[in-house]
Structure 1
Amino acid sequence: MSITVIKMKLFCFIFFCVGVRLVQLQGLGSGSDGNLRVCIVEGRGPLKRGATFCPLLDAEDSGLECVLGSDQLDCLRRISKGTVDFGVFSPEDLIAAQWADIDVLVTNELRNRHRPFERSVVAVVNNRILPEHESSLDAVLRNSSLCHPGVGVNTLRPLSDTLSGYLESLIIPRACDSELTLTENRLKAIGEFFNRACKAGPWVPDHDGDLELKRKYRSLCAACASPDCSMEDKYWGPIGALQCLAEGAGDAMWGELDDVLAYFGINSTAKSPPMSPEGFSFLCRDGSYSPLDAPPCTWLQRPWPVVIAKRKAVHDVSKLISSLKEEDLFNNHWRGALTALLEIRQAPTPLNPPRVPLDYLASAKGFREAYSQSGCDPPRHITLCTTTLLEKNKCEWLSEAGAVYGVNPPLQCILRDDHTACLRAIHSRESDVSVANGDAIPTAMRDFNLRPLLFEVTPIVEKMDTVLAYVRADAVISNMADLRGKRAAFPRYDGVAWHSVLRYIQKKEKINCYDATFNYFSEICAPGVEKHNTTSEIVDKFTSACYKEDGRVTGGEMAALRALVEGRSDVAFISMKTFNMYQNKLIMEPWASTIVDIISICPEENTKYCYISWSNIGHIFAANNITEMRRHEIITVFTKLDQLFGKHQPFHSVMFTMYGQFNHQLDILFHNNTKILATENILNMHPYSSMPLNFERSFLNNTSDSCQITDLAPSAAYKMAPMFLLLISALLTHILSS
């Protein structure tokens, strides 16, 4: 063989090897060196899987990389963008993926039992209601008593609203009374179909709304052990519904097949099951029935969690996941780490070939149909106004997530230039609601006749929206009275700090708005006054001391703090949050690099907390004159979204996080520090009721007791002068003229 031929063969071999390596790099994952990237969502419990097991993937050349997603839909978005390759998702996540038109394939099922579906829902009835001859489902169940599995905070057990609503729709005609909320329509329909029921648990998350509905539809609690039919009722939940049926309180129920078989001792070695199966039957969707020891007829099946992958990586992901065996579950190396990250309990079941989500879900009886139910005509929705593309994007994903779990009416999202434009959109009925902080309250109530329906609440004072008077420690200022004649910096004109401080000065010093505004401080910076319809003299007076960039006044808490730090003002009225950021060197600005000793001056009325006022961190505004029905509907939708996607469910990964990061950014649409959404009643509850100087309570109850733009006119000083001064003025005028 010639040297030339040998060289050619060697060249071809090297080219082939390099080519194979290139194919591997291009055909594998989106990570470094072609690694497959898996998206992991940390649960809210104490065990952090990512922190525990992801390092093992990196340490052992596994060809895998972890990416931590904020929630399941965040992982879906990352797969859609191609930045990660696969992850584990619930059937409900697949519904969201289908609706969002995300192009993925299902590669494996993750079963923990040897059966085709995770859950099967059956109907069980007392034989006393069964007719002698075959009859329709309507004829069997109408005017009977229902043991409903109930509702609760958990999204899946007893049943999600969507699945429960689907089961009801198979026997109960849809009600669409335009005078009632969609929730009440559904309750009314159940109440009219069944003679009585036990539907224990909160029907809506709002406590007052729940009590009102239960007073109105008492028959839906009549079969419960106690008339308030709460989650503490013995007939609440999956086992409670079975007990309700077994004890004769009700005639029919839906439940999971596993629970039913265990309760009646079917296929069990237990010597004494809780209840004998004699006298009870499975009821089928066509109205037929069979004994409990016969093969069950299911009404609804829920698929197993699955692995999904982007199309480009689907072959490699399928091969990887299908290679995991039982022994890998106890492996201390990267394969064991991967099974822990994916929460695998037995060897994954491969799908050959991989399927699109729609086809995979179609194999489960009723599941896909549950998410394609028709609504009322005309359709209802709640329009939420947003101010940025990112907010609108988050709103749309929240709408998708809510729709999956049966939150109705669904959200609709629109975009406007700023918060004022959103408030105007609500006033003109282009939108139903918008989210804004306390600074928007005066404008919303005074100019657009709006009112906050819900509040973003946090129990931590340091994270609330507070207004404190901060001064330099070397200043000769020891109490609030010493601020007279000093230079003051406000974050903005017409905001919480502006109204809180002027209201405090008025009441403390017994002076009118004009004097509190013009004669108390020697100088004021109040950015934003230039946007109001006022004179150039007033604009100059309240902005000449402010920072300006490109000729525009710079506002916000950072600008007010900077003025104090750099000595342009003597007092800055800002929040604890901003002060703490400065103290902890979290403000990445040149002026904040040197920490000046700053202290707060406490009002005599509030030496404990030291603030001049406090308010909740966010508000959902709606028109003040909406109907009571619409008010209930808006409150129900947002409190249900909060219940599903807020911070109520601590031990599992949720589909979506209302108060978490979105697209790597904080405080988008809602604040990350929000604990719950609550109605105005929260202000009367502990600990908020015992916290003095609440801005919302004082402003919502008395909007006229606040300095308005009209109060800045010189004539206002005359109008608001104390009566004795007017009398003296009149007397002097009379003396001089006589």
Structure 2
Amino acid sequence: MAKMNVSVFLVLVFCCVKAVLSQGTGSGNDGNLRLCIVEGRGLYKRAPTHCPILDKEKAGVECVLGTDRLDCLRRISKGTVDFGVFSPEDLIAAQWANIDVLVTNELRFRARPYARNIVAIVNRRILPDSSSTLHAVLKNSTLCHPGETMDDLRPLSETLSGYLESLVLERVCDPTRSNTENKLKALADFYGKACKAGPWVPDKNRDDELKRQFPSLCAACARSCTAADRYWGNTGSLTCLTEGVGDVTWGEADDIAAYFNINDSSSLSGADNFAYLCRDGTWRDLTQEPCVWLRRPWNVIVAKRKASEAVSKLAAALTNSSVTVDRHWRGALSALLESNQALPEPLHPPRAPLDYLARADGFREAYSQAGCHPPRHINFCTTSLLAKNKCDWLSEAGAVYGIAPPLQCVMRSSTQECMAAVEAGDCDATAADSDWLVAGLRDYSLTPVLHEVTPIVEKTSTIVAYVNADSKISKMADLRGKRAAFPRYDGAAWHSVQRYITEHEKISCKDYVEGYFKEICAPGLDGKKCYDAGEMEALNSLVEGKSDVAFISMATFNAFKDKKGASSEEVKKIVPLCPEGNQKYCFVSWSNLGHIFVAKNVTDIRKHEIINVFTKLDQLFGKHPPFHNAMFSMYGPFNHENEVIFHSNTKSLATSAVLKTHPYDKISYNLELFVSNMTDFTCGFGAKITPSLSMLFVTLVVFLIYS
């Protein structure tokens, strides 16, 4: 009998393999199906471990690495890949973007139709004697809020939490308050008090302000109103309820059943004091089937329409329990589909995302909540079609997770035009690097409200003085009378060097401008165009002996060292000149990688909203383990291009307060702090200029320097 089972099993496997090999409908070589994979952020990488097995055993499947899940969706839409694994939130984005795909399988980790079933549980003491409305039952009661996280799963995402709140509360749309304040006010006005522990907004200072503004929403907490409070989270909110502090909470049905031992004869003492509250205002005993407020579907396998049948057949090959230990192509594919512990449940027939999500009560509605009218979009200015496309997808991803006000992307032809648009009020914000700090402040009345930060000093934007090793230049003071090369006029290097020399040499700005250097090449400054604007161009001027010092970043010099064709002799000839007081890092200045600029006269409400939206996007789609969301990558490549809008080395977005924290407070010569304290711009020849000068001004500058 055992031999017969083995024979049948081998026949089934052979048939499955044959089905996979003979499909021929994929977009890969010989009609192979192409699987789009998004690697996690940990050390373990699935692709190099499992993809070679698929190739070696000719499984009919090829791996393609995607930047993020929306990147994979775009590739499926374009037909360059055939299938991948996605979350139900991804399907919302696919629906909004009109991406034509089909859901072929669910990835169920438990034997139930939905991943999450959210219910409400109340203390019977607030229930009326007869049926009533939901509003009447809960008005002025005490809410044990489970909290919110950027995680899709626990305790609740902000979108799902906001949806549950919206079923009870009346919307507040006070134009004198920020979007966050309006939501909190609605909550505070409805409930007598609450414990809404955990962060309300990412910025700690603003979070503290809001908690002082709405103290009733922390009044029921055990101590701190933070994620460390004993009433925070799924279990914490139930503890708040059972200890008699609160009257109502939301939670996962399985968590509540486990907490109260509902399916056990030894149920929690006092469990009969609580009941499930339904959306129509009725209630049920905990021993009854709960009335579910919201269901979250499972993750799914999604395929392009043409390949959906072949993908379904492929997934069917993984329905044997041996996939969890199979070391051949089926086990490899199972690992790549993240289904080692969850066999793909087929959908017959495959369904469009909208139809698939429609089965889950409340889920689609949660992601299509009406906002206030008129909507308060944040108009973000970009400088290229590629950047606008990335911004649009970031906006879509943020909207899925309820980031409000929504991001609206605008395109102008240059950074100057974007800054002018923000100054004029046509746009709310734009992004630019440190070369634009002075110009933004001086010429456009802008201010940076957020910075792209990294704790790794070598990866910040640095300005270092590089000289020839054979020169007799051993200290910064030796640069007097030498030939200087700058990447551009009016940028970070120009202002950093100007500040350093005038301070340390105790000379006036006029003396520095008119006679400190023998010659200056800074594109935008002189009319002879000694080289095109750029850091590598300034470095080449030094390498070729046309300049005595080049003021560029560490990153550019490292790129020069690693450049193909660069000789070791060339590299050895160039050395950094360390300024006094900074022998450790050797830079003249450092600044953060990039900045989000807004108008100086922006209202506090608007500034708070802009900061809140971008820091939430950063928390969701930046580099924040363990809750990094692989739906979208703010700092990753977009359409195979790097450094689009944001820099790839960015760790997070932060306010200027980060400059006072460790390790930033230990690093001297910060350009942002210097620029923020600038009141006199006359050292820049007293004219309103930007890194792109008019020829009239160029003529004036040449006259001043060479006369």
The TM-score bracket by the shorter chain reads: over 0.9
Match of 1:374 in 2: 370
- CA–CA distance in structure 1, aligned partners of residues 462 and 57 of structure 2: 50
Q: Shift in Å at residue 594 of structure 1?
A: 4.8
- CA–CA distance in structure 2, aligned partners of residues 142 and 566 of structure 1: 77
Match of 1:637 in 2: 613
Contact 1:467 1:612 in 2 (8 A): yes
Match of 1:186 in 2: 183
- How do 1:89-488 and structure 2 match up within 5 A? 89-226=86-223, 228-268=224-264, 271=266, 276-325=270-319, 326-344=321-339, 345-488=341-484
Secondary structure at the aligned position of 1:605 is classed as coil
**2:310 aligned partner, one-letter code:** D
- How do 1:324-723 and structure 2 match up within 5 A? 324-325=318-319, 326-344=321-339, 345-529=341-525, 539-540=526-527, 543=528, 546-547=530-531, 554-583=532-561, 585-586=562-563, 588=564, 594-650=570-626, 654-704=630-680, 707-710=683-686
Could you report, residue by residue, the CA deviation over 1:492-526 in whole angstroms, capped at 9, with x for unpaired residues? 10011101111211122222223212311111100
Q: Shift in Å at residue 595 of structure 1?
A: 3.2
**1:234 aligned partner, one-letter code:** R
Contact 1:24 1:34 in 2 (8 A): no
Match of 2:76 among 76, 79, 100: 79
Secondary structure at the aligned position of 2:686 is classed as helix
Contact 1:265 1:276 in 2 (8 A): no
Q: Shift in Å at residue 51 of structure 1?
A: 1.6
Cα pair distance change 1:324/1:171, threshold 3 Å: same
Cα pair distance change 1:652/1:515, threshold 3 Å: closer
Contact 2:148 2:161 in 1 (8 A): no
Q: Shift in Å at residue 487 of structure 1?
A: 0.7
Contact 1:282 1:296 in 2 (8 A): yes
Structure 1 vs Structure 2 CA RMSD:
2.1
- CA–CA distance in structure 2, aligned partners of residues 355 and 27 of structure 1: 22
Could you report, residue by residue, the CA deviation over 1:442-498 in whole angstroms, capped at 9, with x for unpaired residues? 111111100000000011111111111100111111001111111110011001110
**1:331 aligned partner, one-letter code:** D
**1:151 aligned partner, one-letter code:** E
**1:131 aligned partner, one-letter code:** P
TM-score, normalising length: structure 2:
0.92
Contact 1:264 1:274 in 2 (8 A): yes
- CA–CA distance in structure 1, aligned partners of residues 474 and 488 of structure 2: 25
More deviation, 659-668/148-157: 148-157
- CA–CA distance in structure 1, aligned partners of residues 567 and 638 of structure 2: 30
Match of 2:30 in 1: 33
Could you report, residue by residue, the CA deviation over 1:603-639 in whole angstroms, capped at 9, with x for unpaired residues? 1121121111111010000000011111111010001
Q: Shift in Å at residue 154 of structure 1?
A: 2.6
Match of 1:734 in 2: none
Q: Shift in Å at residue 592 of structure 1?
A: 9.9
Cα pair distance change 1:497/1:715, threshold 3 Å: closer
Q: Which has the larger radius of gyration?
A: 1
Contact 2:124 2:274 in 1 (8 A): yes
Secondary structure at the aligned position of 1:403 is classed as helix
- CA–CA distance in structure 1, aligned partners of residues 535 and 656 of structure 2: 26
Cα pair distance change 1:53/1:651, threshold 3 Å: farther
Q: Shift in Å at residue 370 of structure 1?
A: 0.8
Identity %: 60
Cα pair distance change 1:89/1:183, threshold 3 Å: same
- CA–CA distance in structure 1, aligned partners of residues 609 and 156 of structure 2: 22
Secondary structure at the aligned position of 1:710 is classed as coil
Secondary structure at the aligned position of 1:282 is classed as strand
**2:118 aligned partner, one-letter code:** V
Moved beyond 3 Å, runs of 4+? 23-27, 273-276, 588-596, 650-653, 711-716
Secondary structure at the aligned position of 2:451 is classed as strand
Cα pair distance change 1:409/1:713, threshold 3 Å: closer
- CA–CA distance in structure 1, aligned partners of residues 268 and 652 of structure 2: 39
**1:456 aligned partner, one-letter code:** E
Could you report, residue by residue, the CA deviation over 1:232-273 in whole angstroms, capped at 9, with x for unpaired residues? 00000011011010101100000000110000001147x5x6
- CA–CA distance in structure 1, aligned partners of residues 567 and 481 of structure 2: 26
Secondary structure at the aligned position of 2:226 is classed as coil
Secondary structure at the aligned position of 1:604 is classed as coil
- CA–CA distance in structure 2, aligned partners of residues 163 and 589 of structure 1: 55
- CA–CA distance in structure 2, aligned partners of residues 713 and 94 of structure 1: 54
Contact 1:44 1:653 in 2 (8 A): no
Q: Shift in Å at residue 26 of structure 1?
A: 9.0
**1:563 aligned partner, one-letter code:** S
- CA–CA distance in structure 1, aligned partners of residues 74 and 400 of structure 2: 16
Match of 2:40 in 1: 43
**2:521 aligned partner, one-letter code:** C
Q: Shift in Å at residue 329 of structure 1?
A: 2.5
**2:538 aligned partner, one-letter code:** A
Contact 1:153 1:649 in 2 (8 A): no
**1:287 aligned partner, one-letter code:** G
TM-score, normalising length: structure 1:
0.88
- CA–CA distance in structure 2, aligned partners of residues 571 and 555 of structure 1: 16
Cα pair distance change 1:157/1:257, threshold 3 Å: same
Match of 1:736 in 2: none
Contact 1:614 1:695 in 2 (8 A): yes
Q: Shift in Å at residue 156 of structure 1?
A: 3.0
- CA–CA distance in structure 2, aligned partners of residues 713 and 333 of structure 1: 69
- CA–CA distance in structure 1, aligned partners of residues 279 and 207 of structure 2: 31
- CA–CA distance in structure 1, aligned partners of residues 182 and 89 of structure 2: 25
Q: Shift in Å at residue 328 of structure 1?
A: 2.1
- CA–CA distance in structure 2, aligned partners of residues 595 and 77 of structure 1: 42
Q: Shift in Å at residue 323 of structure 1?
A: 2.7
More deviation, 402-411/605-614: 605-614
- CA–CA distance in structure 2, aligned partners of residues 313 and 592 of structure 1: 52
**2:133 aligned partner, one-letter code:** S
- CA–CA distance in structure 2, aligned partners of residues 298 and 25 of structure 1: 44
Could you report, residue by residue, the CA deviation over 1:66-97 in whole angstroms, capped at 9, with x for unpaired residues? 11111111110110111100011110000000
**1:86 aligned partner, one-letter code:** F
**1:690 aligned partner, one-letter code:** K
Cα pair distance change 1:688/1:267, threshold 3 Å: same
Q: Shift in Å at residue 701 of structure 1?
A: 1.4
- CA–CA distance in structure 2, aligned partners of residues 591 and 312 of structure 1: 52
Cα pair distance change 1:166/1:65, threshold 3 Å: same
Cα pair distance change 1:471/1:371, threshold 3 Å: same
